[in-house]
């Protein structure tokens, strides 16, 4: 604002019978008038005498959880067995941040070495290993990661399993799908697969017919 007033003074300096104080007062009043047109608390930029309203900053991103084997398969270049690495590269190709949860600090340290970008953070989730089958223990670890991490991003967090493929150009549409669900006060349900239930998925903790 001071630069704008200085510019007005300089432009008017060559004119005769110009009241520079009046020019400065006019500039100040116009600035205050434009500011008063905005609701208090709304963000805006001051560019000279024109106020440009800022779009609200949206904070959303992804949450991932990986056990030992996917982390051991991480590679710097694409590899058929490196599903986690492929997913991380997909995430880094978007504009959204992500957080990767691991079981141990050693696994977290290895994962950090292979991160494709700095928008992915890694955190270890120390927990007591249950005396269960490895597949069930892995699933419960992911549930713990969800419970302890959420809410992560205030405007929405999507959990991605390691074996999914993220369509890089459709991430906004993916978030928009869940925005629409929330707008309509709806939710997604989980039902038992009607074709079969693999032995590794069977657990007494889920009641029959759920």
pLDDT over 60 (residue 14):
no
Range name among 31-40, 56-65, 104-113, 134-143 with the lowest pLDDT average:
31-40
Paired tokens of 21: 């104080």
**Nearest one of 28, 23, 2, 4 to 13, comparing CA atoms:** 23
132-188 pLDDT, tens digit each: 556 777 888 888 898 888 889 989 999 999 888 888 889 999 999 889 988 898 887
Name which residue leads in pLDDT, 159 or 41: 159
Contact 24, 30 (CB under 8 A): no
- Report how far residue 13's alpha carbon sits from residue 71's, in angstroms, rounded to the nearest whole number: 69
- The strand pairing partners of 101, in sequence order, are 65, 123
Helix (H, G, I), strand (E, B) or coil at 101: strand
Mean pLDDT of the chain: 79
Main-chain phi, psi angles of 19, to 5 degrees:
-85, 100
pLDDT above 90 covers a percentage of the chain that reads 34
**Cβ atoms within 10 Å of 179's Cβ, excluding its own:** 14
For residue 133, what pLDDT is reported? 59
For residue 187, what pLDDT is reported? 81
- Report how far residue 94's alpha carbon sits from residue 88's, in angstroms, rounded to the nearest whole number: 10
* DSSP letters for 15-70: STT--HHHHHHHHHHHHHHHHHTSPTT--EEEETTEEEEPPPPP--EEEEE--HHH
For residue 122, what pLDDT is reported? 96
pLDDT over 80 (residue 33):
no
For residue 84, what pLDDT is reported? 95
**Nearest one of 207, 173, 171, 10 to 93, comparing CA atoms:** 171
Helix (H, G, I), strand (E, B) or coil at 122: strand
For residue 13, what pLDDT is reported? 53
- The strand pairing partners of 53, in sequence order, are 44
| Orientation angle between helical segments 20-36 and 2-12, nearest 10 degrees | 150
Q: What is the pTM of this model?
A: 0.65
């Amino acid at each position: 604002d001071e630069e704008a007033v200085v510019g007005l003074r300089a432009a008017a300096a060559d004119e005769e019978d110009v009241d520079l104080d009046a020019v400065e007062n006019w500039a100040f009043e116009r600035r205050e008038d434009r500011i008063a047109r905005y609701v208090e608390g709304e963000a805006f930029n001051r560019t000279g005498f024109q106020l440009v309203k800022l779009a609200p900053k949206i904070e959303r991103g992804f949450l991932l959880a990986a056990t030992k084997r996917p982390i051991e398969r991480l590679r710097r270049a694409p590899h058929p067995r490196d599903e986690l690495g492929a997913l991380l590269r997909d995430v880094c190709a978007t504009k959204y941040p992500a957080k990767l949860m691991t079981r141990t600090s050693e696994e977290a340290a290895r994962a950090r070495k292979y991160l494709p970008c700095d928008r992915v953070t890694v955190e270890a989730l120390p927990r007591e290993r249950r005396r269960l089958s490895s597949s069930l223990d892995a699933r419960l670890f992911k549930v713990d990661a969800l419970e302890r991490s959420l809410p992560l991003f205030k405007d929405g967090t999507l959990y991605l399993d390691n074996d999914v493929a993220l369509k890089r150009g459709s991430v906004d549409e993916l978030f928009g799908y869940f925005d629409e669900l929330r707008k309509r006060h709806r939710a997604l349900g989980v039902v038992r697969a009607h074709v079969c239930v693999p032995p590794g998925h069977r657990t007494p903790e889920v009641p029959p017919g759920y």
